[in-house]
Amino acid sequence: MKTQTRVVVIGGGIGGCSTLYHLTCEGITDCVLIERDELTSGTTWHSAAQVTNFGPNQTMIGLKSHSIKLYKALAEDPDYPIDYHHGTGGMRLASTEDHVDGYRHFISLAKGMGVPFEYIDAKECKRRHPLVDTDNLLGALWDPYDGDIDPAQLCQALARRARKAGAEIHRFNPVIDLTQKGDGSWIVHSQKGDIHCEKIVDAGGYRCNEIGAMMGVELPVASMEHQYMLTERIPEIEALDIRLPLIRCPTDDFYCRQEKKGLLVGFYEQDCRPWGLDGIDPGFSMALCPNDLDRVMDVMGGAFHRLPCLIKAGIRNVINGPITYTPDGLPLVGKIPGKRNAYCITGLRAGLGEGGGHGWLLAQIIAHGEACYDTWCLDPRRFSPHANVEFTAIKAMEDYRNEFRFHRPHEHRPAGRRLKTTPLYETLLGLGAEFSVVDGWERVDFFKPSSDFEEDLSFRINNVHEVVALEVANVRDNVGIMEVNGFNRLEITGAGAHDWLDALSCSRIPRRKGKIGLAYFLNHQGNVKCEATIANLGSGKIWYGSAAAAERHDLEWLSEHAPIDGSIRITSLTSSHTILVVAGARARDLLAAVSPRTDWSAAAFPWLSVRKVHIGYIEAIVMAVSFSGEPAWEIHLKVEQSRPCFDILVEAGREFDLGLFGSRALESMRIEKGYRHWKSDLITEFNPFESGLERFVEMDKEFIGKAALERMRDDGPRRRFATMEVASDIAVAHPGDSIVVDEKVVGTITSSAWGHRTGKNLAMGFIDPGHAAIGSVLKVEIIGRTFDAKVVAGGLYDPANERLRG
């Protein structure tokens, strides 16, 4: 066994084998995989091994499409063919109109990735799957490339190709410990000896936290017991001359596929249970949990109703094994938070079906720092430390119970809530607040008009529409207040802090005390990495503010680029501070009433400036910035002072018709202004010119990614960011919806909302350059219908920013 290599992958399931193979494809052939037992001896060996294109976003669809293409090539390899039922087809059943709307959205989303999903009615479901009972069935989403594969053969095929390229695999070699050296490299202590490597990959499956413990981290991964059964031969299947398509049912919580001349039927029961929380037996390998069919009897009844042939079918075998989950159900693929040169590929609850793509993306990240897709939906840093294993187990149970029930727009499920709140939570709850969740923080979405009001969650315009309209109107005409908690706030100090930030950013960093600037940071490929509000507080102190979800991402990125001499200090104030936003036509008057010693005039306290002031008796840092397009001030204060400050503002605000507003109203207003949102409209797939941020780029200075940006500028844009007005009064577009011209996809929606001040249905997205000019006529696909749209100028509301400057 080698004693020196570039990368060590720990774990020989689909995640590890795929990563090893794809590392060799990216030119890293000096790599080693270590497996404690035999390859595929964890979850991989007992996987139901279904391979679908279906995913909740385009990144997931892209990696699944890569998996399917890879698996097809492996199956057709004459030297080492594998069993892969490619293109059997699969149906996701629809029993409600919400199901139908959701599937039609996913059809449009997949279309942008070149995947031809289709919606079929109940009659066609019966034609394609003769054993289905169509009682109460409306139809189904059809994936023509759905299929299943042999897990062990797949991993062996990937391992074979990796070995041929120069990689090594060492089985039956448990990792005993991990040591990180001062230069960031690692020593992997294994039973068969030590290996010194530049980088390590935790591909440990349900044992990922045993590996994590060796490096002092806990990953948000928990395992769930999952049962499926294999039937005896079924006469109705023996009589067919076709292979039956796969079925997944969000109503009855089961899936099934053909297995020889019988069926494999899996269940997602409500009485589910986590596994391994108290530790995993070291000898648990190629092993299963005890069968417990009593637990799935209710779900089994639904499956029998939909597939009557099961009533008389004998059970040949029952499989009950652990599968891994994360808090949001999507895998962890990328850099391990808080560790240099350490990566993970775990939490793959549908690992076989998508593992080829996960390894592909991770290998790119390891080799190049970024993948071809923006991988934030997979990034381990998307969870902050609140997401421990116990929290993950609670969310995993919730997700398991809703396995085939996709999230509807604005749906925030209840498990694990109220973890991050401020003293204002109970106050706002008492005032009718409906909360959403941002990185674990409870943040007001909107205020209910009555105590018994409930949102009709839908892909269409719903009963919250008018509620939000009233909140927006009051901000426009009077003044509104909202709390923005969880905002990522970093305090940067030290000699040369301004020069250091300026060298990182493609934008100008404000040098004058009391000034604020919006800054963008690029990766080495020249694409957008971070967006931040930079406030110069004077005395060498800078506040860096960014999206709540960016907390770990931005802190780690800045820390990685900080001088090794420790001259730059970065301190997180995210949990210690909160923000009260006061916005609207009368905002200046309200603030003058509660802070009379401050000159709030446009001349003394202009837009994009920051001051230390007193709100009543409470000291705060106040910034004249606006995400709404109305005159607005952010009051940054210590979290324990949020309640008295709120009370002071509310009491004084009675004179000015102060109203409450939430994130849904702010979203409407920011779309009207054309303001971008990180990881919706700002992603690592596009550079700042393509993202419409030219005014923030200073090409006359040096910054990270400049050389790559110059090359892309000379080559011309791949796509351009644009705002569209959509001719629909039944629904707004949804992220991932396709933009089409002459039935050809020319772009993708990234954000959308109804603009209540402009009275327009607005959407933003990236469009092929030839169709992105103002006035271009397009169409947007929304829940199965194609609506006329046209490109309009960004920032339709108050385009000259007169209200902000006044």
The per-residue pLDDT for 806 is 81
In terms of residues, how long is the chain? 806
Nearest of 231, 274, 618, 669 to residue 482 by alpha carbon: 669
At residue 582, φ and ψ (nearest 5 deg) are: -115, 115
Q: Is the dihedral of CA 20, 24, 27, 33 positive or negative?
A: positive
Element (H, E) at 503: helix 497-504
Whole-angstrom Cα Rg for the chain: 27
Q: Which two tokens stand for residue 130?
A: 């003769």
Per-block average pLDDT, block size 10, for the chain (806 residues)? Answer: 96 98 98 97 93 96 97 96 97 97 98 98 98 97 97 97 98 98 97 98 98 98 97 96 97 96 97 95 94 93 96 95 97 97 96 94 98 98 97 98 96 97 98 97 98 98 98 98 97 96 97 97 98 96 97 96 95 97 98 97 96 97 97 98 98 98 98 98 98 98 98 97 98 98 97 98 98 98 98 96 90
Question: Any residues with CB less than 8 A from the CB of 4 and at least 6 apart, and which?
Answer: 195, 196, 197
Cβ distance 500 to 481 under 8 Å? no
Strand partners, 782: 785
Helices and strands (DSSP H and E) totals, the chain:
19, 39
The per-residue pLDDT for 620 is 98
Distance CA 268, CA 261 (A): 23
At residue 157, φ and ψ (nearest 5 deg) are: -70, -40
The per-residue pLDDT for 593 is 98
Torsion region of 253: left, alpha or beta (phi above 0 gives left; psi -120 to 50 gives alpha):
left
The per-residue pLDDT for 350 is 87
Q: Which two tokens stand for residue 224?
A: 């769930």
- Give the angle 629-632-634 at the CA atoms, nearest 5°: 125
Strand partners, 138: none
